[in-house]
Amino acid sequence: MSLAQGRPYLAIPGPSTMPDRVLAAMHRPAPNIYEGALIEMTASLFPDLKRLAGTRQHVAIYIANGHGAWEAANANMFSRGDKALVLATGRFGIGWAESARAVGVNVELVDFGLKTPVDPARVEDALRADVNHEIRAVLMTHVDTASSVKNDVTAVRAVLDALGHPALLAVDCIASLGCDAFHMDDWGVDVMVAASQKGIMVPPGLGFVWFSDKALEQSRSADLATPYWNWTPRAFAKEYYQNFNGTAPTHHLFGLRESLTMILDEEGLEHVWARHATLARSVWAAFDAWGQGADIALNIANPAQRGHSVTAARIGDGGAQRLRSWCEREAGVTLGIGLGMALPSAPEYGSFLRVAHMGHVNAHMTFGVISVMEAGMRALGIPHGAGALDAAAAVIAGR
């Protein structure tokens, strides 16, 4: 007998769980796109998106997913043949590199593997070697959703500053914005990309690019920017349609309005970050207990190097895949696949999974996921250490 009936829970790292209030805000007839409520509401989104990113500079909204946001950023930073330094710590760093390469950017990729963050010493070597300052931008991922590693953005900024290197610093916060602390201006970030369906708790469909005055200046000569991707009319629109280079994503915008109000004005961004941190620690505590004497381990050994929105882990001998399907079929919880940790054709592929704890999630949801995983390990006979639920509860209890 399956116990999956009831409200299902998608615990994958995007799309994340959406508040009913966001969905309700979207449930309305098509609005007038020439005057009235939509136009006034949209104007309020820009300052709030800047608050979310910690910037007083600029933001453009696109009808796009995260891949579109990458492409938007690339189009405005680069001309064909320009050089980029990409720092990869998992599948998504590689993805941004591929996206840049495909449009003619000359990409130098420094790959830090799947288990460790960006090493500033290697970044320094790569930038020192660029004696003529040909590198126009350094691209990095804040939290790579595949490995769940969190990178120290300020350390990369410090390397650029110490060398006096003029490259832009561009950061993918698609998995971390609204989950992990991020301060665009204080951290000296020039370009930052995000998408609606993760920490922002809105259905997939909106991509965002924040950019600094310095990046704006560089974009004036970037010849990859086509009319659709050009961020300037979007960020400095004189007419409403310019914000979106055409029809606005009307319903997504109403959903976004609701989610920004919830994050910024009701819960408060600092609290949102603290909630994600605690829920993440409860998941890590459970894995640490399961891993005692068993082939179960978190992907990132050092807690300070783990993102707070998603946890990548190994459950050996294909246990991860068996557990994922048990949790969905028997308990209504969908866990994330192990992305980019092994090829889907490799025997090891089934030994990786990810647990998301991003967006509109609270203690009972995350604790429920951990409990269901524990039940699944028992049902499937997957060897695991004892005490995971105690350990998770202790974190939630604040001990």
Ligand X SMILES: *Cc1c(COP(=O)(O)O)cnc(C)c1O
Count of residues that bind ligand X according to CB under 6 A: 13
CB-nearer residue toward ligand X: 68 or 319:
68
CB of 131 to ligand X, least distance (A): 31
In the structure encoding, which two tokens stand for residue 356, read together?
Answer: 């998301």
CB-nearer residue toward ligand X: 144 or 328:
144
Instruction: Compose the 304-343 pattern: x for residues touching ligand X by CB under 6 A, - for all others.
Output: ----------------------------------------
Residue nearest to ligand X (CB): 66
Place of tokens 């030994």: 351
CB-nearer residue toward ligand X: 141 or 282:
141
Residue 14 within binding range of ligand X, rule CB under 6 A:
yes
CB of 71 to ligand X, least distance (A): 10
CB-nearer residue toward ligand X: 172 or 258:
172
Residue 66 within binding range of ligand X, rule CB under 6 A:
yes
The CA-based angle 47-206-25, given to 5 degrees, is: 75
Instruction: Compose the 261-300 pattern: x for residues touching ligand X by CB under 6 A, - for all others.
Output: ----------------------------------------
The CA-based angle 109-123-83, given to 5 degrees, is: 45
Residue 141 within binding range of ligand X, rule CB under 6 A:
yes
Applying CB under 6 A, the span of 44-52, 109-117, 140-148, 224-232 interacting with ligand X comes to 140-148
Cα separation of 63 and 351, whole Å? 35
Q: Are 208 and 178 in contact (CB under 8 A)?
A: no
Cα separation of 312 and 25, whole Å? 33
CB of 172 to ligand X, least distance (A): 5
Tell which one of 16, 42, 57, 65 touches ligand X (CB under 6 A).
65
CB-nearer residue toward ligand X: 138 or 331:
138
Q: Which of residues 95-134 bind ligand X (CB under 6 A)?
A: none
CB of 340 to ligand X, least distance (A): 11
From its phi and psi, is residue 306 left (phi > 0), alpha (psi between -120 and 50) or beta?
beta
Applying CB under 6 A, the span of 21-29, 125-133, 137-145, 209-217 interacting with ligand X comes to 137-145
A 10 A CB-CB count for 298 gives: 20
Cα separation of 327 and 370, whole Å? 10
Q: Which of residues 207-246 bind ligand X (CB under 6 A)?
A: none
Helix boundaries (H) for 139-249 = 153-163, 213-219, 231-235
- Residue 297's Cβ-side half-sphere holds a number of Cα atoms within 13 Å equal to 10
CB of 171 to ligand X, least distance (A): 10
Q: Are 201 and 178 in contact (CB under 8 A)?
A: yes
CB of 175 to ligand X, least distance (A): 3
Tell which one of 92, 229, 284, 352 touches ligand X (CB under 6 A).
92
Residue 88 within binding range of ligand X, rule CB under 6 A:
no
Q: Which of residues 146-205 bind ligand X (CB under 6 A)?
A: 172, 174-175, 195, 204
Strands 206-211 and 9-11: unpaired
Tabulate helix, strand, coil % of the chain (nearest 5). Answer: 45, 15, 40
Q: Residue 168 belongs to what H/E stretch?
A: strand 168-172
Residue 67 within binding range of ligand X, rule CB under 6 A:
yes
Residue 145 within binding range of ligand X, rule CB under 6 A:
yes
Q: Are 83 and 92 in contact (CB under 8 A)?
A: no
Contacts of 333 (CB under 8 A, 6+ apart): 8, 9, 11, 327, 368, 369, 372, 373
CB-nearer residue toward ligand X: 175 or 296:
175
Residues at the interface with ligand X (CB under 6 A): 14, 65-67, 92, 141, 144-145, 172, 174-175, 195, 204
